[in-house]
Amino acid sequence: MATISNTASAEMTEAGTMVLNMGPQHPSTHGVLRLLLEIDGERVVRMVPDIGFLHTGIEKTCEAKFYQQVVPMTDRIDYLCPMTNNLCYVLAVEKLLQLEIPERAQFIRVMLNELTRIASHLVWLGTHALDMGAMSVFLYCFREREDILRIFENVSGQRMMTSYFRIGGLALDPPLDFFDKVRKFAAIFPERIDEYENLLTSNHIWVVRTKGVAKLTTEECISLGVTGPPLRASGVDWDLRRDMPYSGYEKFKFKVPVSTEGDVYARYMLRIAELRESIGMVKQALEGLPSGPIKTEDAPKVVLPDREKMKTQMEALIYHFKIVTEGFPVPAGEVYQAVESPRGEMGYYVVSDGTAKPYRVHMRSPSFANLQALEKMCVGKLLADVVAAIGSIDIVLGEIDR
Amino acid sequence: MSNSGNIAPAITDINQLKDHPALAKLLGWKTDAVTAAKFDRDELTVTIDRAFIRDACNILKPEFNFMSDITAVDWLPAEPRFQVTYHLLSHKLKERVRLRVMLAGDAPVIESIITIWPAANFFEREIHDLMGIRFIGHPNLSRIMMPEDWEGHPLRKDYPVEGYR
């Protein structure tokens, strides 16, 4: 957090510029982001992002929890893509334990992750358009997001803080009507994307506000650690789902959209293309869904037993009691697991010292790194374009501050 | 019963690992810089001498072009107490490498790599703020998460999880 002396004042500086305070309570900073802007007329001379308003010490809290108790904390890091964070954490711990996950669980994980990506992109699209003055897009986007949240509620009992993935598999087999609901959504969604595109893609005001604005070159992206859609919009063909597959992504066919323009419009077009690819993957997961168990069966000390087994088998009851009261020890070591979140490379670095509680959990959040590129995007440009730039990197302050 | 017993033992013999592109490059440059190497759970960890971290990053940069993450671990009461961990990614090789540097507990200081990857800026500030490790050469090493007048470094192991200190 910045010092008090950095606060804004209406007084002019010696250089004839003005320091303007934007946020932390500002509707278009998408959370509690504070920007200190030094402006010369309408031009931005300097920009200092000030973060930390949402710092809750999640990394520290994780050290005091059992491995399985950390899962609900991961939702709260990025509340727009809870499943992505759940997945990344459980994959990291599964890597530490070297667990094999049944194929059915992997397919459901991929399906839910792609739905999460759609839901997250819809919030981005709605709020980004809202920032630029296109009010109606928001209403359309939230209509479909609501469908996805209902699907999440159906499968996990929660709309946003799902915590549905478990170390070793899933919490429960999805309810019987879940797949019908997903199928129904997958059938209508492609034409809904056309609806959003009708509102924006060739809308003159939208194009003028976004084309050529907040450009980033390939070199700038790499050196500033930018990942996800902004990186691909600047011409880097890199997607962790394809290039370093996890959770069975190698079994899915999808294109990775890439653009070389590197401006706000390119990022918009790229995310729209990602929506289409994601819904395609949801369909593939529905069609190819194998039957079988939803959690690994050869690790009784890690995975909670079925309710039925607990009532009939003494051993299962003991394991259940042990896991809940004492957790399970994880062999010492350190792993870094990264997944492609809607915002970029989400990475979990988990260090184990051989006990039932993680020694250290660190989240490499994409927004944290992407935010560093904001200054590059805005300096020398118009003040009005700052709002477009913030929207186009799609930051979530929850994962920046953790 | 648990299949956690199936974990393959970590390889810690540098000679067995020297074919890995990152380690080969570092050993070809300066054998003194690499104090240990470990291949565990499909991930390579190279321990670098504190004095060489900036040069080592420079040497690796042509191949491992992307700096994913920097973080730190507090191994209290062990000495050297702090571990700074760098995760580098190669877009070309589709591989990662983890560099780690051990730092003494009394005055943890390390060179900043901000001139190699400007992305290190926020990451190093975060470690400085929460772990109390100083990065030499960082242009603005101020607190990033906690308020400016905060005392202590919350991610250190001697900092309580709850209650007043």
Residue B1 has pLDDT above 60, yes or no: no
Q: Is beta strand A18-22 parallel, antiparallel or unpaired with respect to A34-40? A: antiparallel
Structural domain boundaries in chain A? 4-50, 58-401
CB contact under 8 A, A64 and B98: no
**Residue of chain A whose Cα is closest to the Cα of B76:** A359
Q: Which of B40, B45, B69, B128 to mutate to test the interface with A (most CBs of A within 10 A)?
A: B69
Mind listing the pLDDT tens digit for each residue in B44-99? 999 998 889 999 999 999 989 999 999 999 998 888 999 999 999 999 999 999 99
- pLDDT for A4: 43
CB contact under 8 A, A243 and B94: yes
Residues 6+ apart with CB under 8 A from B45: A334, B37, B38, B39, B98, B99, B100
- Chain B contact set for A238 (CB, 8 A): 91
CB contact under 8 A, A347 and B6: no
Residue A15 has pLDDT above 80, yes or no: no
CA angle at residue A328 from A324 to A334, to 5 degrees? 140
Structural domain boundaries in chain B? 3-106
CB contact under 8 A, B87 and A98: no
Q: What is the pTM of this model?
A: 0.91
Does an H or E element contain A44, and which?
Answer: strand A43-50
- Of B6, B45, B66, which has the smallest distance from its Cβ to A98's Cβ? B6
Chain B contact for A335, CB < 8 A? yes
Q: For A199-224, what is the mean pLDDT?
A: 90
pLDDT band at A183 (very low <50, low <70, confident <90, very high): very high
> A113 near A340, Cβ under 8 Å?
no
CB contact under 8 A, B118 and A372: yes
Question: Cα(A98)–Cα(A95) distance, rounded to whole angstroms?
Answer: 5
> A390 near A33, Cβ under 8 Å?
yes
Phi–psi pair at A158, nearest 5 degrees: -135, 145
Helix A264-288, helix A103-131: angle, nearest 10: 150
Of B156, B49, B138, B41, nearest in space to A63 by CA: B156
**Residue of chain A whose Cα is closest to the Cα of B96:** A336
Mind listing the pLDDT tens digit for each residue in B103-135? 988 889 999 999 999 999 999 999 999 999 999
End-to-end CA distance of chain A: 14
ipTM for the whole complex: 0.90
- pLDDT for B69: 92
- pLDDT for A6: 53
DSSP state of B147: -
Q: Give the amino acid at A5.
A: S
Question: Cα(A260)–Cα(A217) distance, rounded to whole angstroms?
Answer: 9
Token pair for B21: 């592109």
Residues 6+ apart with CB under 8 A from A18: A10, A11, A12, A38, A39, A40
Q: For A46-68, what is the mean pLDDT?
A: 89
CA angle at residue A56 from A52 to A62, to 5 degrees? 130
The residue length of chain A stands at: 402
Q: For B145-155, what is the mean pLDDT?
A: 88
Of A121, A48, A90, A105, nearest in space to A289 by CA: A105
> B104 near B83, Cβ under 8 Å?
no
Q: Which of residues 90-129 of A touch B (CB under 8 A)?
A: 95-100
Q: Which of B43, B122, B125, B133 to mutate to test the interface with A (most CBs of A within 10 A)?
A: B122
Mind listing the pLDDT tens digit for each residue in A265-300? 999 999 999 999 999 999 999 998 998 888 888 888
Residues 6+ apart with CB under 8 A from B76: B105, B156, B157, B158
Chain B contact for A379, CB < 8 A? no
DSSP state of A251: G
Overall CATH class of domain B3-106: alpha beta
Most confident of A144-153, A306-315, B34-43, B143-152: A144-153
Chain B contact for A290, CB < 8 A? no
Question: How many separate helices (H) and strands (E) can be counted in chain B?
Answer: 4, 7
**Residue of chain A whose Cα is closest to the Cα of B150:** A1
CA distance B31 to chain A (A): 24
Q: Which of A224, A296, A401, A402 to mutate to test the interface with B (most CBs of B within 10 A)?
A: A224
Phi–psi pair at A295, nearest 5 degrees: -145, 155
The residue length of chain B stands at: 165
Does an H or E element contain A135, and which?
Answer: helix A135-156
Question: Cα(A60)–Cα(A46) distance, rounded to whole angstroms?
Answer: 33
Break chain A down into helix, strand, coil percent, rounded to 5. 50, 15, 35
CB contact under 8 A, B145 and A99: no
Token pair for B112: 């900043």
Chain B contact for A300, CB < 8 A? yes
Chain B contact for A52, CB < 8 A? yes
3-state SS class at A253: coil
Compute and round to an integer the Cα radius of gyration of chain A: 22
Does an H or E element contain A137, and which?
Answer: helix A135-156
pLDDT band at A226 (very low <50, low <70, confident <90, very high): very high
Chain B contact for A60, CB < 8 A? yes
> B93 near B102, Cβ under 8 Å?
no
Chain B contact for A56, CB < 8 A? no
- Chain B contact set for A63 (CB, 8 A): 161
**Residue of chain A whose Cα is closest to the Cα of B117:** A223
Mind listing the pLDDT tens digit for each residue in A362-389? 999 999 999 999 988 888 888 888 988 9
CB contact under 8 A, B4 and A302: yes
3-state SS class at B66: strand
Token pair for A236: 């880097």
3-state SS class at A393: helix
CA distance A143 to chain B (A): 35
Mind listing the pLDDT tens digit for each residue in A92-141? 999 999 888 999 999 999 999 999 999 999 999 999 998 888 889 999 99
Residue B155 has pLDDT above 70, yes or no: yes
> B21 near B93, Cβ under 8 Å?
yes
Mind listing the pLDDT tens digit for each residue in A311-340? 899 998 999 999 999 989 999 999 999 999
DSSP state of A6: G
CB contact under 8 A, A224 and B118: yes
Which fold does the domain A58-401 belong to in CATH?
A: Cytochrome-c3 Hydrogenase; chain B (1.10.645)
pLDDT band at B2 (very low <50, low <70, confident <90, very high): very low
> B14 near B23, Cβ under 8 Å?
yes
- pLDDT for B4: 46
- pLDDT for A78: 86
